[in-house]
Structure 1
Amino acid sequence: MFRKQKFFLVLTCLLVSCLMMASCGKPAGEAGEEGGKPKEFLIGVIPAQGSNQMKLGADKLAERLAEKLGYGVRAEIYPDYNGVVEAMGAGKVQMSYLGPLTYVEAHERYDVEAIVTQLIEGKPYYYSYLIAPADTPYASLDDVVAHAKDIRFAFGDISSTSGSLIPGIALKDAGVFKSQQEHDFKSVTYTGDHTATALAIQNGMQDVGAIDSAYFNNLAKQGKIDGEKFKIVWQSEELFQYPWAVVGSMSEEDIATIRETMLSITDEDILSAFGGASGFTEAGNDDYASIRQAAIADGRIKPRE
Structure 2
Amino acid sequence: MKQRKQSVLTSWMRTVLLSVLALVAVVACTPDGAQVPSASDGNAAAPVELKFGVGPYFPTPNETRDQFEPLFTEIAGAVGATSDVTVTEDWVGLSEALRAGTLDAAWLGPWGFVLARHNSPEIEAIATVEYQSKPFYYSVLMARADAPFDTLDEAIAYSQSASKPLKLSLADVGSTSGWLIPTAEFVRRGLDPKAIFDYSEGASHAAQAIAVVSAQVDMASDYNRNLDVLAATDRIDLGELKIVWQSEPLPNDPIAVRGGLSDDVKRGLQQALADLSPERAAELLPTNYTGFAATDGSNYAPIQVAGKTVGKLK
TM-score range normalised by the length of the shorter chain: 0.7 to 0.9
1:91 corresponds in structure 2 to: 101
Query: Aligned partner of 1:134: which letter?
Result: A
1:286 corresponds in structure 2 to: 298
User: Separation in 2 of the partners of 1:36 and 1:291?
Assistant: 35
Query: Aligned partner of 2:174: which letter?
Result: S
Q: 2:86 aligns with which of 63, 71, 76?
A: 76
- Asked whether 1:205 is paired with 2:216, we answer yes
Q: Please tell me whether the aligned partners of residues 143 and 218 of structure 2 are also in contact (alpha carbons under 8 angstroms).
A: yes
User: Separation in 2 of the partners of 1:165 and 1:45?
Assistant: 19
User: Separation in 2 of the partners of 1:52 and 1:146?
Assistant: 41
User: Separation in 2 of the partners of 1:286 and 1:37?
Assistant: 27
Say if 1:47 and 1:269 are closer, same or farther in 2 by CA, change over 3 A: farther
Q: Deviations over 1:165-216 (max 9, x none)?
A: 11112123334425xxx4221232321x211111111221111011111111
- CA apart distance, 1:96: 0.9
Q: 1:173 aligns with which of 175, 178, 188?
A: 188
Q: Please tell me whether the aligned partners of residues 145 and 176 of structure 1 are also in contact (alpha carbons under 8 angstroms).
A: no
User: Separation in 2 of the partners of 1:228 and 1:301?
Assistant: 38
2:233 corresponds in structure 1 to: 222
**Helix, strand or coil: the match of 2:83?**
strand
Map 1:247-266 to 2 at 5 A. Answer: 247-263=258-274, 264=276, 266=280
Query: Aligned partner of 1:184: which letter?
Result: I
Q: Deviations over 1:238-288 (max 9, x none)?
A: 111111101121222212221222231524353217xx3122211222101
- Asked whether 1:153 is paired with 2:197, we answer no
- Asked whether 1:241 is paired with 2:252, we answer yes
Query: Aligned partner of 1:143: which letter?
Result: E
2:135 corresponds in structure 1 to: 124
2:17 corresponds in structure 1 to: none
- CA apart distance, 1:74: 1.1
2:313 corresponds in structure 1 to: 301
Q: Deviations over 1:113-157 (max 9, x none)?
A: 111111111110111111111111120010121123531111112
Q: Which moved more, 1:60-69 or 1:75-84?
A: 60-69
Query: Aligned partner of 1:271: which letter?
Result: L
- Asked whether 1:43 is paired with 2:52, we answer yes
The two structures, once aligned, show a CA RMSD in angstroms of: 2.1
Structure 2 gaps, min length 5: 1-38
Structure 1 length-normalised TM: 0.81
Point out the structure with max Rg over C-alpha: 2
- CA apart distance, 1:233: 0.7
Q: 1:270 aligns with which of 260, 280, 284?
A: 284
Q: Please tell me whether the aligned partners of residues 56 and 270 of structure 1 are also in contact (alpha carbons under 8 angstroms).
A: no
Structure 1 gaps, min length 5: 1-29
Q: Please tell me whether the aligned partners of residues 176 and 185 of structure 1 are also in contact (alpha carbons under 8 angstroms).
A: no
User: Separation in 2 of the partners of 1:77 and 1:66?
Assistant: 17
Percent sequence identity is 30
Query: Aligned partner of 2:81: which letter?
Result: Y
